[in-house]
Chain A
Amino acid sequence: MTKEEALFNYCLRLGDSSLILGQRMSEWCSNGPIIEEDIALTNIALDLIGQARTMLTYAGQLEGKGRTEDDFAYKRNEREFYNTLLSERPNGHFGDTTIRNFLHSAYYYHLFKVLSNSKDEMIAAHSVKSLKEVTYHLRHSAEWVVRLGDGTEESHQKVQKSFNDLWEYTGDLFEMNKVDELLIKEGIAVDLNDVKKEWLKTINEVLDRATLSKPEDAYMHSGRLNAIHSEYLGHLLAEMQFLPRAYPDAKW
């Protein structure tokens, strides 16, 4: 594997996770508990899809075969997507979405923080810009975790269950393979074990404020690195990719 090939895959990981989570967030449009929240959730969707566009465009440049952001988004199949398993989890109720976003935003926050010093200029610039956005996403979701955790008995139970249900997808966030190994040596990528330590601190601190308890570390699913996904991703893609697949000659 060359450095370019590794970096190409790394960009797909970042781009795909943002894209899939952004697609999920956009499903909240007109479904939020209050208008202000509808606006906040679509705002997050907008940021994430913007991030995806930057990374997928960069992936295309690295690959050098003329593929665009839309080719990557609309013309790949499940087994070619490298997004986190967490990002594709269905929205569920507002508490499920809040916890998923919180876990993912905290991951992105600590990841982009260190990637801001990446030796790859594009990755560094992307991380600096994205960090500003995910700082807000993290604050927004963490505030809701606290409100729901320390709100009513019902909300506490609901959101504790969301935590317990989603926890088993968090191990996947920090798995690494040869791509990471190679890029860490080049000073481009970062050791996700270090990111995990910081991530855990954030999780524990917010859980504490929210009077919630951290789920037991049990079995963790994995799949991201090998593009192995849940069944949910296929349906998400079928919907998202419908028009370009149905009308391959059309330009929109």
Chain B
Amino acid sequence: MEDVKKLEEFQAKIDAEIKIEPKDWMPEDYRKHLQRQISQHAHSEVIGMQPEGNWISRAPSLRAKVVLLAKIQDEAGHGQYLYAAAETLGKSRDEYIEELQTEKAKYSSIFNYPTLSWADMGAVGWLVDGAAIVNQVSLQRTSYGPYSRAMVRICKEESFHQRQGYEIIAHMAQGTPEQKEMAQDALNRFWWPSLMMFGPHDSDSPNMGNGVKWKIKRETNDELRQKFIDKTVQQAEVIGLTIPDPDLKWNEEKGHYDFGEIDWDEFWNVVKGNGPCNKQRLQHHIKAHEDGKWVREAANAYAQKQKNKQLVA
């Protein structure tokens, strides 16, 4: 009985657009849904450092190097911020990281694709961050307070990243024939995986559950994907690149672009661990974590010694 009443009160708050805060009562499923979603988001920021980090040492100008470094640093900051938001749900960062490393938790599949040329730094910023923004703008209104506030802050930086990425690819699209080829190739490789970032069709989405009712998710996968496509097509046209979808066509009646069928076999394959870089990304993360073990232990031991000294004094 108690729980039914609490649940009603909880839903009333949600319906009245009052944010749920860490100390508020919440259904266990709501908590679990958020733990999964926010930690997945945090892991994505952290794993996402790898494909871009792949080009820092080879950035073609010092300015480009500084911009890329700053961008990846932002991503690390987002990861840190999101882990903190996830920790308000009663699980530690260490526990979340262990879930990532034991493959109990996922991260965005887009980062399981390799970055093969400098143009990919453009494509990742333009398309991957561009897709992420569409999702994150929507999540600014999510019902859980700490997550919502994290999104507000993150969105500001992401839109900056998206412009930087677009600048790189636009510049290359207008450069030498080789640069233009790299730019088109990057678009060809990242277009479809970017569309997959929004997840399966609404009809096939396993994690929706009460997500919409509880206003964790404010718009569906298909709605968000459509928004992304609608805003990106013109951006490609402006710089003379072709989106690799022969079925892409403006639909006057709907006021949206129609687009071709996404290769869901590829999507599920990558989700299941068979993408080009799944193993590499996870091994990289685990290695860094293990290499850093003695450092974390030393820091803890030192802190403990200082504490003991204070107690004696």
Contact with B along A213-252 (1 / 0, CB 8 A): 0000000000000000000000000011011100101111
Chain B nearest CB, measured from A232 CB (Å): 13
Interface centre among A43, A240, A250 (most CB of B within 10 A): A250
Are the CB atoms of A252 and B80 closer together than 8 Å?
A: no
Contact with B along A152-165 (1 / 0, CB 8 A): 10110010000000
Chain B nearest CB, measured from A97 CB (Å): 10
Tell me if A9 is interfacial: C-beta within 8 Å of chain B.
Answer: no
Tell me if A151 is interfacial: C-beta within 8 Å of chain B.
Answer: yes
Are the CB atoms of A46 and B61 closer together than 8 Å?
A: no
Tell me if A150 is interfacial: C-beta within 8 Å of chain B.
Answer: yes
Are the CB atoms of A26 and B297 closer together than 8 Å?
A: no
Are the CB atoms of B73 and A30 closer together than 8 Å?
A: no
Report chain B residues within 8 Å CB of A34.
292, 296
Residue from A33, A45, A247 in contact with B295 in the complex, judged by beta carbons closer than 8 Å: A33
Bound CA span A50–B179, Å: 26
Tell me if A27 is interfacial: C-beta within 8 Å of chain B.
Answer: yes
Report chain A residues within 8 Å CB of B284.
30
Residue of B with least CB distance to A245: B60
Are the CB atoms of A52 and B62 closer together than 8 Å?
A: yes
Bound CA span A50–B301, Å: 35
Tell me if A171 is interfacial: C-beta within 8 Å of chain B.
Answer: no
Within 8 A of A (CB), among B63-98: 63-66, 69-70, 72-73, 76-77, 79-80, 83
Bound CA span A43–B59, Å: 17
Contact with A along B259-293 (1 / 0, CB 8 A): 00000000000000000000000001100110111
Contact with B along A73-92 (1 / 0, CB 8 A): 11000000000000000000
Are the CB atoms of B294 and A32 closer together than 8 Å?
A: no
Bound CA span A250–B182, Å: 12
Report chain B residues within 8 Å CB of A247.
176, 178-179
Residue from B59, B60, B172, B291 in contact with A94 in the complex, judged by beta carbons closer than 8 Å: B291
Tell me if B175 is interfacial: C-beta within 8 Å of chain A.
Answer: yes
Tell me if B216 is interfacial: C-beta within 8 Å of chain A.
Answer: no
Are the CB atoms of A94 and B295 closer together than 8 Å?
A: yes
Bound CA span A146–B62, Å: 33
Chain A nearest CB, measured from B95 CB (Å): 15
Tell me if B248 is interfacial: C-beta within 8 Å of chain A.
Answer: no
A–B Cβ pairs within 8 angstroms, 29 of them: A19-B62, A23-B57, A26-B65, A29-B69, A30-B46, A30-B50, A30-B72, A30-B285, A31-B288, A31-B291, A32-B292, A33-B291, A34-B292, A35-B46, A35-B79, A42-B76, A46-B66, A46-B70, A94-B291, A94-B292, A148-B295, A151-B297, A152-B297, A155-B294, A158-B294, A239-B57, A243-B58, A244-B60, A252-B118
